[in-house]
Structure 1
Amino acid sequence: MKVENTQLIRRLVFASLSRATLPDWYSLGARFIRVGMNLKRKASDAGTVSRARRRIESMTDYCDASPRTDASGSILWPASGEAMEYARNFIRACAAAQSKVLIVPDKDADGLDAGVILHKTLISLGLSPGLIDVHLIGKNSTVHDEVERAAMQAKIPKYIIVVDQGSRAAPPIIDDPDTHSLIIDHHLSDDFPENATVVSACHYPPVATSALLTYEICKPLNPNIAASCGYLCAMGTHGDLGNTLKWKPPFPDMTEVFKTHTKKAINEAVSLINAPRRTSKFDVLSAWQALLEAKSPKDILINTRLLNARAEINEEVERQTHTPPKFSKDGKIAVLRINSAAQVHGPIATRWAGHLNSKALEIVMVANSGYRPGYVNFSCRIARCARSRDPPVNIIASLKAAADLDTGDLTERMGESFARGHKEASGGIVPAAEFEELMALLKVGEKPDPKPEDAGKTSKKSDARPQKNNLMNYFAKTG
């Protein structure tokens, strides 16, 4: 290419110098500029492909996933019709019984918004507010831990509604046989606690968030739910799926919601609701109370406690986010190690997933050894450059495949909290020693083996010969 470029320039020079007058030099310069622009355009063709790929990625939307249909062709979404009706009947029974109901929401915006939707729905159906209680799971605990089961049972509920907690095979939510339990969830699982009514969205693409699933369950129960809880549904959904969601069918039409409450206000409110639980104090109660008392997202935006918590988290994210990543030997997983008492591993994983870029990269993992003594809390996100891969990246499957490389009992020792969540956004809490074993299996930090086609080749820089002819020394030689 360099030889051809030199010959082209020489022809232009020879053709022009023999008849060039002063005005002609301006024309000659313009011709050189045009040639340079054309050559630069050719050199940038490779970048055009990546730009086109980014445009395609930006055009795809979460809602574009093909939904399931029944024998008649009707769409099955956000869960099976039978499960949805069971859930509605359960909520009606709660209100009719006028007995104590315990709501057990997850700590994030999706879970908390879903919990408040249930709270408002039960009151709209006539249940006394004094009969509704909430149980917020403690830091580093799950709804299945004995200490949490005992705390829930101590509140003597007649009905329990567990929302967005993730599911696995387990004993009943509490040990009281007279207590009825409903589980509303969207995390990937086929196993659930015993004796519970279950409605799960995990097998009904595009998978609804727990807030959206709860909203769709509750909407038919009272005509005012759509207006009073629409912004809560939007907040919970944006909290899990991001604020670029296009809300295309089968997702509900939220036009009226976004006319009443701007997307900017909703997204700001999501950020504030998520902040307190990320602090070292794990102050989920402040977020729950703020949502319960709010009439609109604007009420959340002026909550001093939430604003202070967000400022604290933003400072910690900025302090921790500059950790350089190390890569697995195959280049598919980037791992960043941090040490923080705050729950910032998720936001940092999301940030780096949008920046790292390579042909091999699939998953960005941020591992936090400072959140729980003796354990590593980690969050994984699909790298932006891998979101349109076919077949799609499955974080849970990839993590489990890595653990299965062990010939011993590593998977069992890591426990039930390994590789939980969603195929697109997963994570876990595992003992520190076992996490290091997982890193060794992934060969994090090891250099990749040279490709067979590269064997025996020298680097381009050492092999390339410097170009002897250029425009400047040409005139020096011929002048």
Structure 2
Amino acid sequence: MSDSDSSQAEPAKHWPAPTAQLSAARAFIRECAASSAPTLLLPDKDTDGLCSGLITYLTLTHLGLPPSLISVHFPAKGSNIHAAPERERIAKYGARYVIATDQGSRGGPALVDDRATKTLIMDHHWSTEFPEGAMVCSAAQCPPVATASTLAYVVCTGMLGGGEKGRKVKEQLDWLCAMGTMGDLGTSFKWEAPFPDMRECFKRWTKKTLGEAIALLNAPRRSAAYDVETAWRALLNSTTPKEIVNPESSKDVGRLFVARAEVKSETDRCARKPPMFSGDGRIALIRISSEAQIHPLIATRWSSSLKGPRLEVVMCANDGYNAGMTNFACRVAKSRKAAAGEGATDIIAILKEYASRIPGLRELMGDDFARGHKEASGGIVLTEHFERLWELMANAEREEGGPPTKKRKTGKESPAQKNTLEGWLRKA
């Protein structure tokens, strides 16, 4: 890697990942592009994952790897790239190079057992363990933690070179980075150093346009059909974000609008479920049943309005997404952030501490429990195990000297109540 590459790609020392990891990731991508070997991309299903995947894709093709040699794989609904069935599917591609972006990190066997296959993981989820044999470029321990799109952008932009061709590719990578990052951090995110300077990008493409494109790209993976491939094709075949927000631009883009309408309708239906509270007042739970992946949306919505003297975490648990399983999403209550400050609440640690109170429960729930980020975590567990966890939470006693809490319900379904979303917002 040349000094010029380093200066273009790294806005700050040891950011967005350790310098050695950034250099190794660039070397991996250059080697992959020069190899003319079958390559498999494993981007996550949300906007950050899709954009980081496309940033990598465009960089590889810019460096000379034919698109015909690049395959893209998305895990089945409710699964992940670390699950045994998905590892079998990944192996069938026969790829010599595998690049996973924004997929979450955990220890375990190699993604591909064939030792001739090389694997690069670019991620920002908290973890100190990774699949065997993988090269890792992780932003998780380099604050402020970058998104996967920003990480991929910093890794890749330094390899584009000069000239008109490189400039045009970088313009596309700019708005992909902006969309992916705002997909995780919100459209109101302040692009301050060490994050890339996106002022020119926002002059060309307004945050309103980018925000609408983000919502549309997120919709298919939240729909009951879990049509992630449509979102990928819509993004891959769009040369500007304006094409993504025009329903007439392609059939795939038109399907994004249909998916968004479905998700909105389902979210409105389920968001009126009244919350229950843990006995110690630290956890609020909204219990829903939907084939759509709307539990993160509902957790986020309620986290901005619910208040309580001891409330820390808002959880939405979905028993209808996968049969026999409970998918749940947790967010830090806004009132908690205001009182304790950003970064003061570690949801992963809180979930694990509760689970540890029942001998063996933490192990029974497996590797898909308490995944993600410290302030945006969740999991996928057997419903019977989630019932045990919530029963424990519902009966948890408050600490001595803490503010009083009301008697809590423990049942899966709450009786008819008048405290709908609007009622709770008025109380807040």
Q: Same fold (TM over 0.5)?
A: yes
From 248, 258, 269, give the equivalent of 2:192: 248
| SS state at 1:430 partner | strand
User: For the residues of structure 2 that align with 1:243 and 1:449, how far apart are their CA atoms?
Assistant: 38
Give the match for residue 357 of structure 1. 307
| 1:405 and 2:357 matched | yes
1:362 Cα deviation after fit: 1.1
| SS state at 2:26 partner | helix
- Residues 48-103 of structure 1 show CA distances to partners (whole Å, capped at 9, x for unaligned) of xxxxxxxxxxxxxxxxxxxxxxxxxx732100000000000000001111111100
| 1:259 and 2:203 matched | yes
Pick the structure with greater CA Rg.
1
| 1:345 and 2:292 matched | no
Q: What letter matches 2:109 in structure 1?
A: P
More helix by share: 1
From 189, 209, 213, give the equivalent of 1:269: 213
1:148 Cα deviation after fit: 1.1
- Residues 333-366 of structure 1 show CA distances to partners (whole Å, capped at 9, x for unaligned) of 1000000011000111111111112221111000
| 1:417 and 2:368 matched | yes
- Residues 81-131 of structure 1 show CA distances to partners (whole Å, capped at 9, x for unaligned) of 000000000000011111111000111111111001011001110111111
- Residues 7-63 of structure 1 show CA distances to partners (whole Å, capped at 9, x for unaligned) of xxxxxxxxxxxxxxxxxxxxxxxxxxxxxxxxxxxxxxxxxxxxxxxxxxxxxxxxx
| SS state at 1:317 partner | helix
Deviates more, 1:411-420 or 1:217-226: 217-226
The TM-score, its normalising length taken from structure 1, stands at 0.77
User: Any conservation in 1 of the 2:310–2:403 contact (CA below 8 Å)?
Assistant: no
| SS state at 2:269 partner | helix
User: For the residues of structure 1 that align with 2:74 and 2:373, how far apart are their CA atoms?
Assistant: 22
| SS state at 2:377 partner | strand
Gaps of 5+ in 2: 1-11, 247-252, 405-428
- Residues 116-167 of structure 1 show CA distances to partners (whole Å, capped at 9, x for unaligned) of 1011001110111111110111111111112211111111111000111111
User: For the residues of structure 2 that align with 1:235 and 1:298, how far apart are their CA atoms?
Assistant: 12
| 1:381 and 2:336 matched | no
From 77, 84, 90, give the equivalent of 2:28: 90
| 1:286 and 2:211 matched | no
1:176 Cα deviation after fit: 1.1
Evaluate the alpha carbon distance shift between residue 98 and residue 334 of structure 1 in structure 2; reply closer, same or farther with a 3 A threshold: same
Q: What letter matches 2:118 in structure 1?
A: H
User: For the residues of structure 2 that align with 1:112 and 1:452, how far apart are their CA atoms?
Assistant: 44
Evaluate the alpha carbon distance shift between residue 453 and residue 290 of structure 1 in structure 2; reply closer, same or farther with a 3 A threshold: closer
Evaluate the alpha carbon distance shift between residue 145 and residue 451 of structure 1 in structure 2; reply closer, same or farther with a 3 A threshold: closer
Evaluate the alpha carbon distance shift between residue 229 and residue 449 of structure 1 in structure 2; reply closer, same or farther with a 3 A threshold: closer
| SS state at 1:76 partner | coil
The TM-score, its normalising length taken from structure 2, stands at 0.86
Give the match for residue 102 of structure 2. 164
- Residues 244-279 of structure 1 show CA distances to partners (whole Å, capped at 9, x for unaligned) of 110101111100110111100111000000000111
From 277, 281, 305, give the equivalent of 1:331: 281
User: Any conservation in 1 of the 2:309–2:403 contact (CA below 8 Å)?
Assistant: no
Q: What letter matches 1:393 in structure 2?
A: T
1:447 Cα deviation after fit: 8.8
User: For the residues of structure 1 that align with 2:218 and 2:110, how far apart are their CA atoms?
Assistant: 29
User: Any conservation in 1 of the 2:147–2:180 contact (CA below 8 Å)?
Assistant: yes
1:371 Cα deviation after fit: 0.5
Q: 1:179-258 alignment to 2 at 5 Å?
A: 179-223=117-161, 224=166, 225-258=169-202
- Residues 265-306 of structure 1 show CA distances to partners (whole Å, capped at 9, x for unaligned) of 111000000000111111000000011001111111122100
User: For the residues of structure 1 that align with 2:106 and 2:373, how far apart are their CA atoms?
Assistant: 14
Q: 1:49-60 alignment to 2 at 5 Å?
A: none
Give the match for residue 392 of structure 2. 441
From 83, 95, 108, give the equivalent of 2:46: 108
| 1:431 and 2:375 matched | no
Q: 1:444-463 alignment to 2 at 5 Å?
A: none
Q: What letter matches 1:250 in structure 2?
A: P
| 1:178 and 2:128 matched | no
User: For the residues of structure 2 that align with 1:100 and 1:402, how far apart are their CA atoms?
Assistant: 45
Q: 1:113-132 alignment to 2 at 5 Å?
A: 113-132=51-70
User: For the residues of structure 2 that align with 1:243 and 1:362, how far apart are their CA atoms?
Assistant: 24
| SS state at 2:327 partner | strand
Gaps of 5+ in 1: 1-73, 455-479
- Residues 403-426 of structure 1 show CA distances to partners (whole Å, capped at 9, x for unaligned) of 1111x2000101100000000100
User: For the residues of structure 2 that align with 1:100 and 1:333, how far apart are their CA atoms?
Assistant: 47
Give the match for residue 300 of structure 1. 244
Q: What letter matches 2:229 in structure 1?
A: L
User: For the residues of structure 2 that align with 1:202 and 1:121, how far apart are their CA atoms?
Assistant: 23
- Residues 361-397 of structure 1 show CA distances to partners (whole Å, capped at 9, x for unaligned) of 1110000000011110000011111124157011111
User: For the residues of structure 2 that align with 1:228 and 1:300, how far apart are their CA atoms?
Assistant: 13
RMSD: 1.7
1:453 Cα deviation after fit: 9.5
| SS state at 1:387 partner | helix
Evaluate the alpha carbon distance shift between residue 452 and residue 99 of structure 1 in structure 2; reply closer, same or farther with a 3 A threshold: closer
| 1:143 and 2:74 matched | no
Q: What letter matches 2:357 in structure 1?
A: L
User: For the residues of structure 2 that align with 1:197 and 1:316, how far apart are their CA atoms?
Assistant: 40
| SS state at 2:344 partner | coil
1:228 Cα deviation after fit: 1.8
| 1:155 and 2:155 matched | no
User: For the residues of structure 1 that align with 2:77 and 2:362, how far apart are their CA atoms?
Assistant: 23
User: Any conservation in 1 of the 2:371–2:379 contact (CA below 8 Å)?
Assistant: yes
Dislocated runs of 4+, deviation >2 Å: 223-226, 446-454
| SS state at 1:419 partner | strand
